[in-house]
Homo-oligomer: A and B are copies of this chain.
Amino acid sequence: MNPTPRIPGHRFLHSPGPTRVPDEVVAAMARQPTDLADPRVPQVIEACESGLKRLLHTERAEVFFYCANGHGGWEAVIANLVGEGTQVLVPGTGHFSDNWAAQVEAYGGRALRTPYVEGRPIDPAAVEAALRADTRHRISAVFAVHTDTASGTTSDMAALRRAIDAAAHPALFVADVVASLAAAPFEMDALGVNVVMGASQKGLMLPPGLAFVAADERAMQAALANTGPRFYWDWQRRRSDLPYRKFCGTPPLAHLAGLEAALGLIALEGLANVHARHARLAQAVHAAVGCWAEGGAMHLFTTAPAARSVSVTAIEVSPGIDPEALRTVARERFQVAIAGGLGPLAGRAFRIGHLGDVNEPMILGCLAGVEAAMQVQGVAYGRGGVDAAIASLAADGNG
């Protein structure tokens, strides 16, 4: 069926999502479906709910899974929390905060934005100022993207919590952890986050197709007060022990089986080890890109080292370099798939994903393949990038 000739070997997938699906997850998803009344169905769902709660470090939130992608997850948040005229504060993180805000507005909400400065994370002071300015508490929620996949920037959720508290504002704290979950630490209850949403195809190591929302009691109350039209996304309707109701119809059995397996893999490795691995691999990538940057043709897009995501690294290139052409050579000739720039970064950047089921030689092979593509394209990159990544990994005590 595939008209293109055979491409040999393991293909290196270094988009920041979808990410590689581990064999154990593939095997779990390959299991045949059961009838929906089979008692094994609620067992799998329960394992997914409790496993996800452990991953989110929450005991008080309820979990809703959706047969949907990440934008579906956003819509689930919006449909429940945003009615005509609802005000939401969306701190600027770049492409994804822009898009979430646009989606809020499509639902008739009003999205206030704090300014986004390229290469920088959310400015908590701006959030605090915006909330303080809202003396009548018209802002019902702060919608914050933890890691903006487009910019490769991770914002400080604890600082955001402190900003909300400092403003003494009752807005709900809503976090998008699509690109950070199971890669960077995140503790829902400790952060006082009221709603978290995420999706399957990044740190959770599943194919796209499953989204989730975790909502606490305050958020559930806010949703109850929202009379906007919804059915599929509606949290109240999904409050049930019956799988068919929990999912507003047929549950996505393959994805649930896969999620149970993926959560088991994370538990087996140990969440702290998973986080450490992501940090270690990100550091190796940053070391390599630091060398490349010495050639003068590119630089790490996120300026503050602490804000560089452990999931994905955005590299801004100089004018005259075509990142899309580079990607094509990397993918088609060297079997390394990297990501491009999104939104304002389109044509100005490329991105290397390093999250999910990845390890040292995958990252090293990716970096080396990108170097090969840069050579072919005549990009003036500083030499020694892979060597720097190797040294970074070899020096790491837990490697």
Which A residues have a C-beta under 8 Å from some C-beta of B? 1-2, 4-15, 17-23, 26-27, 29-38, 40, 47, 67-72, 74-75, 78, 84, 103, 106-108, 199, 201, 207-210, 228-232, 234, 247-255, 260, 264-265, 268-270, 273-274, 277, 324, 327, 331, 333-340, 357-369, 371-373, 375-376, 383-384, 386-387, 389-391, 393-394, 399
Residue of B nearest to A339 (CB): B35
Chain B residues with CB under 8 Å of A260's CB are 1
Residue of B nearest to A331 (CB): B38
Bound: A337/B36 CA distance, A = 9
When the two chains form their complex, are residues A334 and B31 in contact, meaning their CB atoms are under 8 A apart? no
What are 25 A-B contacts with C-beta separation under 8 Å?
A: A5-B268, A5-B273, A8-B358, A8-B359, A9-B362, A13-B32, A15-B36, A18-B34, A19-B33, A29-B29, A29-B254, A34-B337, A37-B324, A37-B327, A67-B68, A67-B209, A69-B249, A71-B248, A72-B249, A209-B254, A360-B372, A368-B386, A368-B390, A371-B390, A376-B394
When the two chains form their complex, are residues B9 and A106 in contact, meaning their CB atoms are under 8 A apart? no
When the two chains form their complex, are residues A331 and B75 in contact, meaning their CB atoms are under 8 A apart? no
Checking B33, B38, B333 against A21 with a beta-carbon cut-off of 8 angstroms, the contacting residue is B33
Closest beta carbon of chain B to A318's beta carbon, Å: 20
Bound: A15/B34 CA distance, A = 8
When the two chains form their complex, are residues B38 and A232 in contact, meaning their CB atoms are under 8 A apart? no
Bound: A9/B324 CA distance, A = 27
**Given A368-B386, A384-B387; A269-B8 close (CB under 8 Å):** yes
**Given A33-B13, A250-B201; A68-B68 close (CB under 8 Å):** yes
When the two chains form their complex, are residues B366 and A35 in contact, meaning their CB atoms are under 8 A apart? no
Checking B12, B23, B231, B248 against A361 with a beta-carbon cut-off of 8 angstroms, the contacting residue is B12
